[in-house]
Structure 1
C-alpha cells in the first residue's frame, strides 16, 4: 500500500511551517503584482485568483524538491500516457493535499469571503470526457500519494468535449471554453517547444558506415509547448505533474503573404496547426475529423517520447538500458502510435537495428484495455496513416510482417489465425487495428476488472491469449479516497475519522473498523444525519440549477454517467413509468417515495442516446405535473454532468444505478464512488459490480438480471424480445405508452425509434429480458428503504468494505506487477552506481 501516515508525519512539520508571508499577504500580493489589480478592492474572482497563485507557489517549491529527489535516487520513472484526464476543480483538492483547508477558510473569512463560495469561480478543467479521464486523474493522485516516480502526459485542450444545455428536453452542445478566464494552475513552458512532424515522404540512404537507413523528409512542422499542472501527494512534500502539450505553429504568420494583402492566408497555417489541441475529441464522422483525431494522438505521443528520451539522456546510459529506467503505460489505444514512434526514434535517429529496437519497445510499453465492445476498438485507415505518418506506416507493416511470420511458424495447424490477429484488416478499406498493435508491442496487457480480464482472455483477445498466455491479466480499477470521500463528503469523512482515526485516508482498508459500529444505534443516527446533510446540499443545488424542489424524505435514486444504450438509462426510465402507472392506478395505496435523478452527456452524433435524454425529460414533465402523483415520485435531469456536479450528487446518493447489460461494462468507477459514500447498489453482474458484491456481501447489494454468459447464450440461440412483451402486462403497457405518444402527445411518433429498438431491431441490450428481474429488485429496494434502520446499517457496511477499491491499491499493483517501480527512496532502484550530476528538469 502507500506510505503509512506515520512516515508522512515527519514531513508535515515542514509543510505546516509559516512561509515568509502569511497566506493573506500572499493573496493580496498576487492580486496586486500578478493580476495588476488594487488589493484594497477585491472581489470573488480576484481573491480566487490570488489564492490560486498563493497555493501554486507552495506546490512549485515542493515540486522542485521532488524532481531533485528523483535524480538523487536514480529512480525508474513511469510515464502514464492518456488522451484524457478529468481532474475537476483543483483548488479544494490542493488545499486538502497541503493540509491548508482550515487555514484558508479562516483567512478568507477574515477577508469577508467563503471558501465554498469562492470555489465556484473555478471552471472544471475540460481535459477529459468520462470514466477514462477520471480514472487517469485518480491514478495520478495515487501515484503522488504513494511517492511513485511517475508523470501523466496528454493534451492541453482549449475546449472540453462540450458544455451540455437542455432546450425543451433536447441536448444542445455549446463550446466548453474552460480557460476563457485564464487558468492559474498552468505552468506554461514557452521556452520548451518540441517539433512534431506530419505528412512528407520517406527516403532511403546509406550512412557513414555503409548501412541502409531511412529518413522522413519534406514534412509539415507543428510545435508542441509543454504545460505542467501539478499533482500533490497528501500531507507530505511529494509533488509530481501532468505534462500536457499545446500545439503551436512553427511560424507566427507568413509575412510575404501578409504584405501582399492576403491577411487571412497569412495566418492560415498557424490556425490549422494550432487546431490540433483546440478541442477534445473532434467529431470523426467526416474525413477532416478523423485526420484531426489521428493528428492529436501522434502529436502528444511524439512530444512525450521526445521528452522521455531527453530525460533519459541525462543519465548517460545505453539505450539498451531504457526499460530499466522507463515504463510507459498506454491508457487505452489512443497512444498506441507510440510503439512505431519509439521504433522510428531508435532506428532512424539513434541507429539501432530492428531486433534491438523491438526488444526495447516490448520491454518498455504496457497497455490498458478499457472496453469490451469490439466496435469501440480503435482502427485507422491505412491510407490515412500512410499520408500523415508515412514512416510509421512502413514500420507498422514491418511489425505485422514479422509478427505474422512467427504466428504461421508456431501455429501451422490454424491457417486462419494469422488473419484474425493481423494488425491490418483486409478488405475494400484496409485498417490498422490499434488494439492489436498495442498488444503485440507491449509486455503486459491488462483489463480493468476481474470479469473484464476474463472476457478479454476468453473472447475479445482470445487468439492473443493463446499466443501470449502470460501477457493478458487485469488490475481492478480504483478511486482516490482523498477526492471521493474526504473532499466531497466532509460530514461523512469527519464522522469516520472521529470513529476510527485518520489512517483510512492513506489506507482505505482501515474502513473495516466501521463494521462493528453498524450495530451501534447511536452511530447509525449520526450516519443518517451526515447523509441528510448531503441530501440537503444536493437539494439546494438542484433548486439553483433547474428550479425544481425535491423532498428530502424520498429515496434519492441516482443514475449519473455517459448516456449510452448499453448503460441502459432506458431501463431505468421504464421502471419510472411502471411506478407512475402503479401510483395512478392505485392513488390511495402507500408507496415508497422516490426522487429519480439522471445526468450525463450523449455523444453529439449519437442520435439514439440523445433521444433517450428527450424521453427522460418528457416522462419527467408528465410525472412531475400530475396531481395524482402528489410528490411521491419526482424525476429530474441535471444538465452538463461534470466532476464538480458529481461531487455534489454522489455523497447524496442512496441508490446507485449500475444496470448495464452484463458483459459490456469494462469496470466502472461511479459504482465505487457511490458505494464508498454509503449508497446501496442496484446492478447487474457486470464490470466491477461483481467485485463490489463480493466485497460488501450479496445481502447488501441488489443484483439482478442476466449474467454475461447468459447474454451470450441468448444471442446464440436466438433472442426474441417480443416474448417478454407478450407475457408481461406491465412491460407491454410501458412499451405501448412509448409507442402511442403518451409522453409526447404533440408528437405521437417521437419515440418510435426507441420502441423499434426494443421490439423490431432485436433489443440488442436485452432490456426486455431484464425488465422483470429489475422491477423485482426495485421492489426489494422499496421494502428495505421503508426499514430506515436496516437501510442505514447496510449503508455503513457498504462503506466499511470498500477498501480494495482504492486507486492506491490499483497503482501499487501496477507498480509491482507491470511497471516494476518503487516508491521514491525505497530499495529496488535499478542501479546503485554513481551517475553524473543532473540539474532538475522541467
Structure 2
C-alpha cells in the first residue's frame, strides 16, 4: 500500500484482502473494515481507485450510519407502538459539531472502528479531522439544544428535536489584517453523510395571502405563496442504549409545478423561478440581516416555516398513533404532546397551533386555547432588551394575516382577564400586553406572547430565573406564581469530557474505579478525597500537558503563532458581545503588556508567563463587536513579535470558533474567563465545560457562575466585579458623573490611543466606555467599574499558578464539583417537572 499519485490516480488503495461486503451491524473490526470498503465501492461519491482521508471519512461515516438507521427505525417503531407522551424541542439553532466521534463513542464501538481503519491504512484521528462541523447554529443556544438531544437519547426519553437545514450557516470567520471577514459555511458543499432525506414527509407552509370568511362563519387563510417543507433526519444516538432519536431538519423547496415553463421559454428566467428562489432563501443562512423590510420578512419566514412544518408533523404523528379505528380526541393532545420553545424564535408555534386546531380541525376557541396552553412551554434565555424579540405589526399582518388575528384575540382576552381580576395591575397593562400599539412603532412582543400562552416558563440558571421573576416578568408572576421555574443548564459529559479529553477521562475512571460517571456525573465528587494525592496530581498534570501541547500545535497550524505549553493558558471563547466583555479581557492584556515593557529583565523573569486566547464570532452588523475582534488581533500582532515580552505574554485570536475548535481549546485550558456584567448572562454553558475539564474560572457572579462557584468551592474560583443587585445603582451613578476611573483603566485606554497597536481608529470603541454613547448611557456594561477588581483577581491567578501543587488541587476540585452541570440532570428535571414524560427504552432483543 503506498501514498502519492500517478497520472491523477491515488496510490492509497484498500488492501486486496479486505472484501467489499456489507456488515452493517458488526462490531468486529475486520467486518467493519469490509463494511467501510463496501460503502467506498457501492455508495460512491468520488472517482474510483481513491481511498484518501476524505473518501475514507465518508465511507466510515456511512458505515456508522448503518447502525444508527437500524436503531432509529427500531426507536421510531417502539415509540409508535408504545404511544408515550413525547417531547418536541423547537429551536432555531443546533450547534452539533462533528458527529463521527460522538456516534461511535455513544455506540461504544470506537476501538473497533479505530482497528478497522488501521486495517485500511488510516488512523481514526486523521479521519475524524476530515469532517466539517454542521453549520446549524452559532452560540450557546444551539449548543445547549444539542447537549439536550444527547441527554434525551441517553435517558431513553421519547423526544425529538426540530430545526432548519441552513445551507450556509451563520458565516465562516476569516481573520485578516483588517479584522473579521465573513464567508459562507461550506458544510454542505459536498453532502452530509449523517442526514437522511424523508421524501414522504412533506408539508405545505403558506405565507402572505388573506383571510377568507366562509358561509358557515369559519375563517380560512388562502392565496399567497406556498412553500414545501421537506424533512431531513439526523439520527441522535444515546450512550450505550438502543434509543436513537431524531433531529428533524426542514428544507424549503418549491414544487416542479411552480416552475413556469412558458415564462422560461419566453426568456423570463428570473420570473419563471420566482417561487424556487423564494424557497431557497428561507434556509440559506442562519439569522439573515434584518435591517431592511425584506430582511425582517425573511427572518419571520424562517421562524414560521420551522413552527408550521414541525406542528403539522406533530399533529400527523398524534393522529397516526391511535388504537385501531378509534379517532383521537383533541383533549388527549396535551397528554401525548409536549412542545418546548427554545427562546422566542419559535413563538409562532402558539398562533399556528391555534390556527391548525380551529381552521383545519374545527375546534372552537376555548377548546383550541386549552389544548395549546397545556401543550406548550417556553424557555427564556435572556434579559437583554434587544434580544427579547419584537416584530413589527405591519410586517406580521403582511406575512401572516390569520396569525395576527389570533394574536390580537389572545391579547384582547388576556387584557380583559387582567382588568376584571387584577384591577391593581391596570396601570401595568401597557407593558404586559402582547401588542404594543405605540403609533410610532406598533410591535408584537414575542416574549409576552410566550408567557401568556405557555403552561410553564423557565429560566436557565438560578440567578437568571430569580431576575426573571423579580424584574422582567414580575407582574405575570403575581398572576401565575406557579408558572415560573428554574432549570439550570447542563452539558453532555460524553462530548465534553469522555470523547474530547480521553486522557483525563481515563484517569478519572481509574481513580473512581468505574466509568459510570459518564452517565452519572455526580460520581465525580468522589475525586475530592484524592485531590491532595501526589500520584493523581502527577497523572493529572501529564494529561493536561498532553492537551496543552495539542492545543499549541493547533494554534501554530491555524494562526502561525508559536505558544509555550509551559505558560498559563488563559482562554475566553464565546460570541463577541459587549456584555460578555471581551473588551475587559483585552484591556487587561494591554495593561499587562505595558507593565511588562516597563519592567527590568530580572523582574519580567519573576512574572507568570501567560498565553491569552480569545475566540468568537462578531455579528456582521455589530460594529463594536467587530472593533473588538480587530483590537484583539492588533494587540496580538504587536505583543507576539516583541522580543522583550513575548516569552512572558502572547495574545492570540482563534479564528472561526465552533464546536470542533472548542473540543481542542477546552481540554487544553487552565484559566477561563467568564466575565460578563453581572445580571446579563442567562447561564452560560462554556463555563461548565471548562470546569468539567479541570480549568479554573475567573469570573463575575453572573449566570451559572454563581452555582459553579458554590459547587466547586469559593477558594477554587477567582471572583471579581459588581453583583447583579449593585449594577442598577452603579449605572445611575455613572450617568450622574459620580464614577471615578481607576488609573490603571485610564492607562490601558491611553496606551491604545497612543497608537501602540497601529493606526486604526479605536476612539468610537473607547468612547463607549466613557461617554453617553451606545446604549445612551456611557459604559453600560461597567467595564470601567470592574477593571480594578478584575486586575486584582488576575494578580491572584498569577500567584496561584506559581504553586503547581496548589493549582493542580484546585483543578481536580473543579472537575470534582462539576457533577451538577450534566445535561442529564437538566433534562431529567424538564421531563419530570415540565413535560411529564417518562423513559421509553427500546428493549434489547435476546439471542
Q: Specify the alignment match of 1:582 in structure 2.
A: 595
SS in 1 for 2:740: helix
Q: Specify the alignment match of 1:833 in structure 2.
A: none
Is 1:257–1:265's contact at 8 Å kept on the other side of the alignment? yes
Is 2:700–2:720's contact at 8 Å kept on the other side of the alignment? yes
Q: Specify the alignment match of 1:370 in structure 2.
A: 381
Aligned CA distance change for structure 1 residues 723 and 47 (closer, same or farther; 3 Å): same
Q: Distance in 1 between matches of 2:754 and 2:737?
A: 19
Aligned CA distance change for structure 1 residues 648 and 254 (closer, same or farther; 3 Å): same
Cα shift at 1:274: 2.0
Please point out which of 449, 452, 460 is paired with 1:448.
Answer: 460
Q: Specify the alignment match of 1:697 in structure 2.
A: 713
Q: Specify the alignment match of 1:708 in structure 2.
A: 724
Is 1:741–1:751's contact at 8 Å kept on the other side of the alignment? no
Is 1:367–1:444's contact at 8 Å kept on the other side of the alignment? yes
The answer as to 2:621 corresponding to 1:605 is: yes
Per-residue Cα deviation, 1:12-52 (whole angstroms, up to 9, x for no partner): xx998648981111111111111165775411111111111
Cα shift at 1:62: 0.8
The answer as to 2:528 corresponding to 1:515 is: yes
Q: Specify the alignment match of 1:793 in structure 2.
A: 809
Aligned CA distance change for structure 1 residues 733 and 21 (closer, same or farther; 3 Å): closer
Q: Distance in 1 between matches of 2:802 and 2:556?
A: 26
Aligned CA distance change for structure 1 residues 796 and 624 (closer, same or farther; 3 Å): same
Instruction: Point out the more displaced range, 605-614 or 68-77.
Output: 68-77
Aligned CA distance change for structure 1 residues 721 and 189 (closer, same or farther; 3 Å): farther
Cα shift at 1:200: 0.6
Q: Distance in 1 between matches of 2:463 and 2:769?
A: 27
Per-residue Cα deviation, 1:358-388 (whole angstroms, up to 9, x for no partner): 0111100000000011221001111111111
SS in 1 for 2:214: strand
The answer as to 2:512 corresponding to 1:473 is: no
Cα shift at 1:169: 4.4
Alignment TM-score, normalising by the size of structure 1: 0.94
Q: Distance in 2 between matches of 1:23 and 1:549?
A: 40
Please point out which of 443, 447, 468 is paired with 1:431.
Answer: 443
SS in 1 for 2:171: strand
Q: Specify the alignment match of 1:830 in structure 2.
A: none
- Gap regions ≥5 residues in structure 1: 1-13, 828-842
Q: Specify the alignment match of 2:15 in structure 1.
A: none
Q: Distance in 2 between matches of 1:768 and 1:787?
A: 31
Aligned CA distance change for structure 1 residues 46 and 15 (closer, same or farther; 3 Å): closer
Per-residue Cα deviation, 1:430-481 (whole angstroms, up to 9, x for no partner): 1000001111110000000000000001111111111211111110000000
Please point out which of 292, 313, 319 is paired with 1:286.
Answer: 292
Please point out which of 338, 341, 347 is paired with 2:352.
Answer: 341
Correspondence list, 1:316-395, <5 A:
316-395=327-406
Please point out which of 743, 749, 756 is paired with 1:742.
Answer: 756
Is 2:24–2:63's contact at 8 Å kept on the other side of the alignment? no
Q: Specify the alignment match of 1:200 in structure 2.
A: 209
Please point out which of 744, 751, 760 is paired with 1:730.
Answer: 744
Per-residue Cα deviation, 1:727-775 (whole angstroms, up to 9, x for no partner): x33222111112332222x34xx11012211112311110111011011
Correspondence list, 1:296-311, <5 A:
296-311=302-317
Is 2:720–2:790's contact at 8 Å kept on the other side of the alignment? yes
Total equivalences in the alignment:
805
The answer as to 2:127 corresponding to 1:121 is: no
Instruction: Point out the more displaced range, 810-819 or 491-500.
Output: 491-500
Q: Distance in 2 between matches of 1:809 and 1:622?
A: 46
Q: Specify the alignment match of 2:552 in structure 1.
A: 539
Correspondence list, 1:22-171, <5 A:
22-35=31-44, 41-171=50-180
Please point out which of 254, 265, 269 is paired with 2:271.
Answer: 265
The answer as to 2:228 corresponding to 1:240 is: no
Per-residue Cα deviation, 1:682-713 (whole angstroms, up to 9, x for no partner): 00000000000000010010111100011112
The answer as to 2:571 corresponding to 1:555 is: no
Is 2:242–2:841's contact at 8 Å kept on the other side of the alignment? no
Cα shift at 1:264: 2.9
Is 2:570–2:669's contact at 8 Å kept on the other side of the alignment? yes
Aligned CA distance change for structure 1 residues 825 and 596 (closer, same or farther; 3 Å): closer
- Gap regions ≥5 residues in structure 2: 1-22, 773-777
Cα shift at 1:72: 2.8
Is 1:476–1:810's contact at 8 Å kept on the other side of the alignment? yes
Alignment TM-score, normalising by the size of structure 2: 0.93
CA RMSD, aligned part only? Answer: 1.7
Please point out which of 169, 180, 199 is paired with 1:190.
Answer: 199
After the TM superposition, list the runs of 4 or more consecutive aligned residues in structure 1 that deviate by more than 3 angstroms. Answer: 14-21, 36-41, 716-724
Cα shift at 1:192: 2.3
Is 2:718–2:797's contact at 8 Å kept on the other side of the alignment? yes
Q: Distance in 1 between matches of 2:672 and 2:709?
A: 13
